[in-house]
């Protein structure tokens, strides 16, 4: 066994920097009296039935996992904190306090038809949603919208597939290569190859790509998992697809108005509404936008109207918060909330992780945000953390301490790295920080570097 088991009574207190006793007490009380929120807290016997797998897989294949359910008597140590997927539940509290402004009322006869707007190239795009998207981009200044076609999708995951379909030559003997610089979003290879398509094939790390012929390069900026600001790396004539899911002012300074040929966005990481399963693409070329629309017609005959109508409302409320702010308004504007909350979490994480021992976190350049005016470092939705020292399996190490993360190998990187979500519920994040501080305070093999 590569590392010792955690032994709480032996904890050396001197390194417990970031977490106060008060926080622990508050947490214990919350756990004892708290609700049954389900996600994020997993009981050991229900999660660790099999070998380590990523949590979404476990959740969908293990036959179920329970939440806290007031079972405090079984001890905090038996509960898993799930930071594996980027479930953006951090935003729930903001929308709760925003009251009725975002409430959507849908009559039973609304949106019966497959069609939203037959005059639009993307005939299943709700005009209200298209308008709200354009308005928000124009407000924030993160992406150009003039002379772009908007294509709506069931999350940016479906739009990613639609882009691949649109860009793949239909009649070539070899599938087109799809690449992205490592570490890359773990979903790309899975989604690209799940049907063993003859149209396109995942070829991994763009830095190592040296094939001739056509290719598609994904440029994710800020990058998932590591938050880096990116440009294309392949020196060729391939087609670029920009995944800008995280190019919003709570995560990174908005330093330029993106005007790439194909840009992907998702409601999930912008507003936090992951359950809505809604994304949009801004596409310059009409033929590509048509083919993307065609793909979504073939695989799902359009996109939920309910999701579009609700998202339209929520995006408009965000814009209203800046453009129509009333003097008696107490609610913070949306991106300000996100910027402060994620900033606070990153400061907590950096303090708890130690300064390179036992964990290491990436540094980011500081920039001024044209939208908010704040000068700050990128503070990504995920932390890309390295286990220093002897431990090679960082995911496994953290799992031993009941912290679920996604190991580096899923992202085309080394297993000394993990990706962990920074945008889950506050109480889960705080408990994660407490545990990390405990690990840090131990005479752990991680510090024997």
> Which residues, 228 to 267, sit near a copy of itself by CB under 8 A?
none
Euclidean distance between CA atoms 305 and 302, whole angstroms: 9
> Can you tell me which of 23, 24, 34, 66 binds a copy of itself, judged by CB under 8 A?
66
Longest dimension (CA), the chain: 70
Candidate segments 21-29, 239-247, 252-260, 299-307, binder of a copy of itself by CB under 8 A: 299-307
∠ CA 56-62-64, rounded to 5°: 85
- Other CB atoms within 10 Å distance of the CB of residue 174: 12
Please tell me whether residue 345 adopts helix, strand or coil conformation.
helix
Footprint of a copy of itself on 307-326 (CB under 8 A): 307, 309-310, 313-314, 317
Q: With respect to a copy of itself, which residue has the nearer C-beta, 70 or 300?
A: 300
- Read off the tokens for 221: 């900026």
Q: Which of 24, 71, 120, 131 binds a copy of itself (CB under 8 A)?
A: 120
Is 303 one of the binding residues for a copy of itself (CB under 8 A)? Answer: yes
CB of 193 to a copy of itself, least distance (A): 10
Q: Residue 85 and residue 100: Cα distance in Å, rounded?
A: 29
Contacts of 7 (CB under 8 A, 6+ apart): none
Smallest distance, Å, CB 386 to a copy of itself?
27
- Starting at the earlier edge strand, list the strands of the sheet with 79-82: 41-43, 79-82, 403-404
Q: Is 328 among the residues that bind a copy of itself (CB under 8 A)?
A: no
Nearer to a copy of itself, 91 or 359 (CB): 91
φ/ψ (deg, to 5) at 141 = 75, 25
Interaction mask 187-226, a copy of itself, x per CB under 8 A: x--xx--xxxxxx---------------------------
Rounded to a whole number of angstroms, the minimum distance from the CB of residue 304 to a copy of itself is 4
DSSP 213: S
* Residue 373 interacts with a copy of itself (CB under 8 A): yes or no: no
Q: Which is nearer to a copy of itself, 98 or 134 (CB)?
A: 98
Residue in the structure block whose two tokens are 């301490």? 401
- Restricting to residues 68-87, which ones interact with a copy of itself according to CB under 8 A? 85, 87
What secondary structure letter does DSSP report for 111? T
Q: Does 132 bind a copy of itself (CB under 8 A)?
A: no
| Residue in 78, 128, 205, 297 binding a copy of itself, rule: CB under 8 A | 297
165 binds a copy of itself (CB under 8 A): yes
Out of 134, 157, 379, 413, the only residue in the binding site for a copy of itself (CB under 8 A) is 157
Q: Indicate which single residue of 18, 19, 27, 59 sits in contact with a copy of itself (rule: CB under 8 A).
A: 59
Closest C-alpha to 385, from 414, 411, 418, 357: 418
Report yes or no: 376 and 227 within 8 Å, Cβ to Cβ. no
CA 275 from centre of chain: 13
């Amino acid at each position: 066994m590569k590392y010792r088991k955690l032994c709480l009574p032996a904890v050396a207190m001197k390194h417990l920097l970031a977490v106060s006793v008060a926080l622990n007490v508050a947490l214990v009380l919350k756990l004892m009296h708290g609700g049954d929120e389900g996600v994020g807290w997993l009981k050991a016997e229900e999660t660790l039935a099999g070998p380590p797998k990523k949590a979404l897989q476990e959740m969908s294949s293990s036959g179920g996992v329970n939440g806290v359910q007031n079972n405090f008597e079984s001890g905090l140590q038996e509960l898993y904190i799930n930071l594996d997927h980027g479930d953006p539940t951090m935003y729930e509290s903001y929308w709760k306090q925003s009251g009725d402004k975002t409430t959507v009322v849908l009559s039973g006869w609304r949106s019966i038809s497959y069609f939203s707007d037959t005059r639009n190239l993307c005939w299943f795009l709700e005009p209200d949603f298209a308008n709200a998207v354009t308005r928000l981009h124009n407000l924030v200044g993160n992406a150009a919208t003039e002379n772009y076609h908007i294509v709506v999708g069931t999350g940016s995951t479906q739009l990613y597939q639609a882009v691949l379909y649109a860009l793949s030559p239909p009649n070539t003997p070899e599938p087109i290569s799809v690449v992205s610089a490592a570490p890359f979003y773990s979903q790309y290879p899975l989604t690209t190859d799940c049907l063993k398509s003859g149209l396109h094939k995942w070829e991994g790390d763009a830095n190592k790509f040296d094939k001739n012929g056509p290719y598609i390069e994904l440029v994710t900026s800020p990058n998932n998992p590591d938050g880096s600001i990116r440009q294309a790396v392949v020196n060729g004539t391939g087609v670029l697809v920009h995944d800008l899911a995280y190019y919003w002012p709570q995560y990174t300074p908005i330093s330029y108005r993106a005007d790439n040929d194909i840009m992907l966005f998702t409601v999930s990481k912008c507003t936090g509404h992951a359950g809505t399963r809604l994304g949009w693409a801004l596409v310059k070329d009409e033929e590509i936008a048509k083919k993307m629309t065609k793909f979504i017609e073939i695989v799902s005959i359009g996109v939920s109207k309910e999701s579009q109508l609700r998202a339209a409302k929520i995006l408009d409320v965000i814009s209203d918060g800046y453009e129509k702010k009333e003097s008696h308004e107490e609610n913070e504007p949306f991106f300000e909330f996100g910027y402060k909350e994620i900033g606070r979490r990153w400061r907590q994480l950096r303090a708890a992780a130690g300064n390179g021992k036992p964990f290491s976190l990436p540094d980011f350049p500081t920039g001024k945000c044209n939208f908010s005016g704040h000068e700050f470092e990128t503070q990504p939705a995920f932390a890309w953390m390295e286990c220093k020292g002897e431990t090679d399996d960082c995911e496994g190490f953290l799992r031993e301490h009941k912290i679920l993360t996604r190991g580096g190998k899923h992202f085309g990187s080394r297993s000394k790295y993990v990706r962990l979500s920074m945008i889950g519920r506050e109480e889960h994040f705080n408990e994660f920080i407490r545990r990390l501080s405990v690990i840090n305070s131990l005479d752990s093999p991680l510090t024997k570097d």
